[in-house]
Structure 1
Amino acid sequence: MNFRLLPEWAEQDAVMLTWPHKDTDWADNLARVEPVYIELAKHITTQQQLVIVAHNSALKVHITALLNSANVSLNRVHFVVTPTNDTWARDHGPLTCAAIDSTEQLKVYDFTFNGWGNKFESALDNQINRTLVKELSSTNNQYQALDMVLEGGGIEINEHGVLLTTSECLLNKNRNPDLNPNDIEALLKEHLGATSFLWVEHGYLAGDDTDSHIDTLVRFAPNNTLVYVQCDDKTDEHFSALDAMEKQLKTFKTADNTPYNLIEL
């Protein structure tokens, strides 16, 4: 059976949050960041199910009390208790693919997470998905762990299977030093159902630890649309890289050889 990574706008079963705690980099800001997570939980649960990954049972009790006080609907909250290093669920979380001929059949891929090229401790976060799938996934879903290092924020895909990424991230030697571009494309075609690739060669954001994740630079939207970060201030440190990125995006073509619809932010 052939599977393909679901685009950002596909129907969702749930949203996953990995909760901050005193042993993460959020330690000095917990009093400020926890109210943000509570607001996220409140809004998510008005629309759909919420998965919360909690570092330990004591944190689960603490979160439950916070959500109760905020009148969050706990019947829509599903806890997974497992040790965590940090909170970046988009990057350490699972990648869900659906059968191309049946969105009811899912396959969950657990790629390796190494803290954005071994910049941060990530061994605990790299184990989250195994526990998550064991506790919450349907027995009808397939699960596969992969040695390839890949973060969710490092790739985008659209409804046609076109995969969008940056060379700075996926070709960085701090991820998969033994893989060349052809190797990476072959693996992502095999596992994520990619039909073709758009490699962004430019893009920079100050303070970025991710090595230019595509999700901070360019995103797919439906109907062959790209939404991207633009900089029109020539005195800004981002101008050169983002201007070069914009010029490259204008050269990208769809399968029928027409330009993408570009929306600048």
Structure 2
Amino acid sequence: MPGDHEPGASTPHTDGMAMPPEWAPHERCVMAWPARASLWGGLLDQAKADHAEIARAISRYEPVLLVARAGEGDEAAAACEAGSYDVEVVEWPLDDSWARDIGALVVTDGAGRRAGVDFAFNSWGEKFLPYDEDARFAERMCDQLGLDRYDATHVVLEGGSVTVDGAGTVVTTEQCLLHPNRNPDLSRDHLEAELETWLGVERVVWLPFGLVEDDDTDGHVDNVAACVAPGVVVAQTTDDRANPNHDRLRRNVEVLEAAGYEVRTVDVLPYAEAGGETVVVPPTNFYLANGACLVPVTAGADLDKALDAVQSAVPDREVVGVPGTTLAFGGGGVHCITQQVPAVAP
């Protein structure tokens, strides 16, 4: 059932295109340089250092395109050691650095054609102002990469709110996608139709919950679950009944299993401290690069245990721990600051 769009206009659904799963080969990764000082507070410099470290780590497996504000490209290039690593820095207007949520979602037809889907971005329900430049990031990304662009800006949707399995299903959360600050005039059935139209899927699996603490994004799926292989989803869980997420995460697993998935679980990491606040660092907020899985980690955690759990879930990839605490203070993780660009099919 197609979603609303201009009569006669093509969509990924009508053009036989779909969003590839994140484990499919990538041409590159798109990132952005931290810019919103009011969000990062006294941790802006640390956020930049961590973004640079993550960009360098990803560039070992695939090229990185990093976007910086005008006048900040040299700073970003120096921090990323762009001369020594496969990191290309370009300058566009920016509000901040959450490339997952502001970037275009790239769809392919499996035969060499790619295009970017440009959804509306409203800063997670008008939470952080201004956001005018980030609302244009997807369009600029398509221009930079020479991609055709599908205009889906009648629907508010962030990349961190969906994960696709490559077999016709998208997994999302009711907590986020049905939140009244996103698409208050669209019913659940209408949203399903929009996902089918613009992501080229045939089924939507609705997890009930994101994390209790995820009040910035209202429960993005990338903080609780990720599709990692055909028929396989990694889901965050905890055996600690005192953790406010215990029952929520358990219910998510039940829904995934009922949908026919093999669920591989990873335990929540201990709470961390950053900027005088207690933050949660979700291990499922990882980035699947070509041949690798970059996992946000935090001081004080049993890192070997945490990384071993993820390694068991993605045995075909090199698992790499990267800084996650400051990103969590800002409201995200490694997945939140990255957006993959699928490779062209040979």
Structure 2 length normalisation: TM-score?
0.68
SS of the equivalent of 1:13 reads: strand
Match of 1:72 among 76, 84, 93: 84
Alignment pair present for 1:264 and 2:271? no
Matched-pair contact (CA < 8 Å) for 2:232–2:263: yes
Match of 2:258 among 251, 254, 265: 251
**In 1, distance between residues paired with 2:204 and 2:79?**
44
Matched-pair contact (CA < 8 Å) for 2:121–2:135: yes
Which residue does 1:257 correspond to in 2? none
The alignment's C-alpha RMSD in Å is 1.8
**In 1, distance between residues paired with 2:34 and 2:115?**
28
> Structure 1 237/59 Cα, relative in aligned 2: closer, same or farther at 3 Å?
same
**In 2, distance between residues paired with 1:227 and 1:22?**
31
**In 2, distance between residues paired with 1:224 and 1:142?**
30
Higher relative contact order, structure no. (Cα contacts within 8 Å, ≥ 6 residues apart): 2
- Structure 1: gaps spanning 5 or more residues: 254-259
Match of 1:158 among 165, 181, 192: 165
Which residue does 1:230 correspond to in 2? 237
- Structure 2: gaps spanning 5 or more residues: 1-14, 267-346
> Structure 1 46/65 Cα, relative in aligned 2: closer, same or farther at 3 Å?
same
> Structure 1 186/214 Cα, relative in aligned 2: closer, same or farther at 3 Å?
same
Deviation, structure 1 residue 213: 0.7
Which residue does 1:30 correspond to in 2? 44
1:118-153, Cα deviation, whole Å (9 max, x unpaired): 11122221112222222x223xx3212222100001
Which residue does 1:116 correspond to in 2? 124
Aligned residues: 250
Residue correspondence of structure 1 range 1-265 to structure 2 within 5 A: 1-21=15-35, 23=37, 25-56=39-70, 58-68=71-81, 72-73=84-85, 76-99=86-109, 101-102=110-111, 104-121=112-129, 122-134=131-143, 136-138=144-146, 141-147=147-153, 148-253=155-260, 260-265=261-266
Deviation, structure 1 residue 24: 5.1
1:219-252, Cα deviation, whole Å (9 max, x unpaired): 1121201110112111222222222223333322
**In 1, distance between residues paired with 2:263 and 2:236?**
11
**In 1, distance between residues paired with 2:57 and 2:113?**
28
1:62-101, Cα deviation, whole Å (9 max, x unpaired): 2223334x8633xx333332221111111111100001x4
Structure 1 length normalisation: TM-score?
0.87
Matched-pair contact (CA < 8 Å) for 1:21–1:27: no
> Structure 1 228/67 Cα, relative in aligned 2: closer, same or farther at 3 Å?
closer
Percent identity (aligned): 28
Matched-pair contact (CA < 8 Å) for 1:42–1:72: no
1:41-76, Cα deviation, whole Å (9 max, x unpaired): 2222222221111111x20122223334x8633xx3
